[in-house]
Amino acid sequence: MDRYLVFGHPVRHSKSPFIHTLFARQTQQELEYGLAESAVDEFAQALRTFFDQGGKGCNVTVPFKEQAFTLVDRLSPRAKRAGAVNTIKLTDDGVLLGDNTDGAGLVADLKSHGVTLADSRILLLGAGGAARGALAPLLAELPSELVIANRTHTKAQQLAAEFCDLGPVTAQTYEQLAGPFDLVINSTSASLQGELPPLTPALIHTDIAIYDMMYGASDTAFISWAKQHGARQTMDGLGMLVEQAAEAFTVWRGIRPGTKQVLRELKRNLGVI
Ligand code: ATR
């Protein structure tokens, strides 16, 4: 049976085995998908051992995505742009191909919620790995403007400079931001600590779409805050998790699984519905 894994630390609570097992059932693919908790300094060896022992592919999550980038034989263009790898496939000719499906997953989830990206004004909060992975796929949707704001402004400036060949991307400080924006994407890890990015509530209006890449059994701090200030359309990162997985599954198996039912089952599993 073809074997797949997700590497991470910690990875115990990963939903990837649940998601990929449902994808495999749905598409009648015979495969098994497991978890690999790897110590931080043992990831490279664990990855090598997995593929030496016949593994077909893996996902890579926090904190190994940047390291995976350096360990594969070849990179997809989108992984190269993202500077990180979340999906590895062993090709038929024995090459370890590193890909990144996170940004594609975000865009697919936004579209499935009916969010229009073309000609929209997008505000991206954060300038870490998650923001970097999202930039090229977002710019490919031809927004009229994409503004990056980050607590450490220089990081936003660096990111904007790196991606400005792909579209109208600029960096602004939180204080400089001027609306209206059509969509705000929170790629910061602030919600993990129950914190908020320092965004003025004046930017929130009823027709704005709010996306938090984080998710939980209840609203993230950012989503609660945006709702309090009148945002009607709020989305968390659970859909992105399922969509990036569907994209990885497609890379490995050449067949695209449906995501709607799997997302519903995942929500039930998490106790969200
Ligand atoms: P990831 O790979 O998830 O993007 P990261 O690379 O550590 O993680 O980046 C985390 C991002 O969240 C950064 O942009 C960070 O801002 P700094 O660059 O100033 O550190 C941002 N972040 C984390 N906590 C935050 C908070 N409480 N308020 C605002 N931004 C925060």
Q: Which residue owns the Cα nearest ligand 1 atom 22?
A: 188
Average pLDDT over residues 33-39: 95
Q: Render 239-268 in DSSP notation, one character per residue.
A: HHHHHHHHHHHHHHHS-PPP-HHHHHHHHH
The C-alpha atoms of residue 99 and residue 248 are separated, in whole angstroms, by: 8
Which residues are annotated as catalytic?
A: 65
CB crowding 209-228: b at 16 or more within 10 Å, else e? bbbbbbbbeebbbbbbbbee
pLDDT range class, residue 191, cuts 50, 70, 90: confident
Could you tell me the two tokens for 48? 């090598």
Task: Give 31 Cα–ligand 1 centroid separation in angstroms.
Answer: 36
Nearest C-alpha to atom 28 of ligand 1 is from which residue? Answer: 197
pLDDT value of position 271: 86
Query: Is residue 207 very low, low, confident or very high in pLDDT (cuts 50, 70, 90)?
Result: very high
Question: Alpha-carbon distance 126 to 109, whole Å?
Answer: 19
Beta pairing class for 87-90 and 57-60: antiparallel
* pLDDT value at 188 more than 80: yes
Using a cut of 0.75, tell me whether the model's pTM lies above it.
yes
So what's the pLDDT on residue 194?
Answer: 87
Give the pLDDT confidence score for residue 192 in this predicted structure: 85
Which residues lie with the beta carbon below 6 Å from any ligand 1 atom? 126-131, 150-152, 155, 187-190, 195, 197
C-beta separation of 167 from 143 below 8 A: yes
Three-state SS at 6: strand
User: What residue ranges do the domains of the chain occupy?
Assistant: 2-99+243-270, 103-235
* CB-based burial, 85-102: b 16+ in 10 Å, e otherwise: bbbbbbeeeeebbbbbbb
Q: What is the second-level CATH architecture of the domain 103-235?
A: 3-Layer(aba) Sandwich (3.40)
Residue 97 has a pLDDT of: 98
Residue whose structure tokens are 């594969």: 72
CB atoms within 10 A of CB 254: 8
Task: Provide mean pLDDT across the span 193-215.
Answer: 96
What is the mean predicted confidence (pLDDT) over 134-147?
A: 98
Looking at the predicted structure, is the pLDDT value of residue 273 above 90? no
**E-strand stretches of the chain:** 2-8, 31-37, 57-60, 74-75, 87-90, 96-99, 121-125, 145-149, 169-171, 183-186, 209-212, 233-236
pLDDT reading at 21 higher than 90: yes
Considering the segment(s) 2-99+243-270 as one domain, its CATH architecture is: 3-Layer(aba) Sandwich (3.40)
**Order of strands, edge to edge, in the sheet holding 145-149?**
169-171, 145-149, 121-125, 183-186, 209-212, 233-236
Q: How many residues does the chain have?
A: 273
pLDDT of amino acid 215: 93
Looking up tokens 């979340």, which residue turns up? 86
For ligand 1, pick from 154, 189, 195, 215 the residue to mutate: most ligand atoms within 8 Å of CB. Answer: 189
2-99+243-270 matches 103-235 in fold: yes
Report the DSSP beta bridge partners of residue 3. 32
Instruction: Yes or no: say if 267 and 238 are a contact pair by the CB < 8 Å rule.
Output: yes
Residue 269: is its pLDDT beyond 80? yes
Phi, psi dihedral angles at 135 (to 5 degrees): -65, -50
The per-residue pLDDT for range 143-172, each reduced to its tens digit, is 999 999 999 999 999 999 999 999 999 999
* pLDDT 10s digits, 64-114: 999 999 999 999 999 999 999 999 999 999 999 999 999 999 999 999 999
Cα separation values, 145 from 78, 96, 142, 182, Å = 21, 36, 8, 10
- Among protein residues, the one with the nearest Cα to ligand 1's atom 6 is 128
Mean pLDDT across 224-238: 97
Is pLDDT at 199 greater than 90 in this prediction? Answer: yes
Sign of the torsion formed by the C-alpha atoms of 80, 71, 34 and 50: positive
